[in-house]
Structure 1
């Protein structure tokens, strides 16, 4: 399961069972950690999730800022709450890349706002799946 953690929303993506293709799944409106983790736990259980990838928003120079610190804390808490392994994945430029793709697809601003978080989660998860695929090849 891929997660794009925002201040107001959580984008969620899932991969196929072969771990080849990430697909946007849902955008959750953030509330408090308890209800958010319960919803993510329900998704994980319903879809047989075996691990979570969370976008890690490093600064452009690679340093850790407040958003990255918040993502690290969320990762630590969700790993404990769901008893699943969690990977932080560098997500610099992911939302901009997704926005560009959605603009090229001629989606309206309102429609882009509706799908960008879960599409960014899919972009993050796909990056990990692609990396794992390259590592598995001899």
Structure 2
């Protein structure tokens, strides 16, 4: 997931955990956690990956604090499924460049960029896990 202040981009992988694909953009606000939990249940996910927005130097600012709080709350909704925070530096930029290179217009891109960023976050996590043999990031538990 790519969690923003207005929207949450959602992506999912195939059952083998090889390829990430876009799923949906969920509006932040009332009912967002329930919708995300429903998507996780419908897809029978084994883990939820949430992008943690660090600064280019790797520090955590206000946005990271907000995403940590959101992920902690989400963990309560999707339990016992684990929620994992992974570094998401530059994912929206990468997603935007890929979409522009693919000929997606700016207007269409605005509607789906959150899903594309979630797809990049998830694909990076899948690739890292395959390369290292262990899941990246850190597990968050509900408070």
Match of residue 39, structure 1, among 29, 35, 40: 35
What is the CA deviation profile of residues 13-41 of structure 1, one whole-angstrom value per residue up to 9, with x for unaligned ones? 01000011110100111113xx1111011
Pairwise CA distance, 1:76: 0.9
Q: Does 1:121 align with 2:118?
A: yes
1:67-114: CA deviation from partner (whole Å, max 9, x where unpaired)? 000011111111122102111111110000110111111211111101
Structure 1 residue aligned with 2:73: 77
* Aligned counterpart, 2:106: 109
> How many aligned positions are there?
133
Q: Partner of 2:96 in structure 1?
A: 99
User: Tell me, which stretches of 5 or more residues in structure 1 are unaligned?
Assistant: none
Higher helix share: 1
Give the SS at the match of 1:26.
Answer: strand
Match of 1:59 in 2: 55
Runs (4+) of structure 1 moved beyond 6 Å? none
Query: Distance in 2 between the 1:62 and 1:135 partners?
Result: 20
TM-score after normalising by structure 1: 0.92
User: Offset of 1:134 from its aligned partner?
Assistant: 1.3
RMSD: 1.3
Structure 2 gaps of 5+ residues are: 134-143
Q: Tell me the TM-score normalised to structure 2 length.
A: 0.89
CA distance in 1, matches of 2:88, 2:28: 20
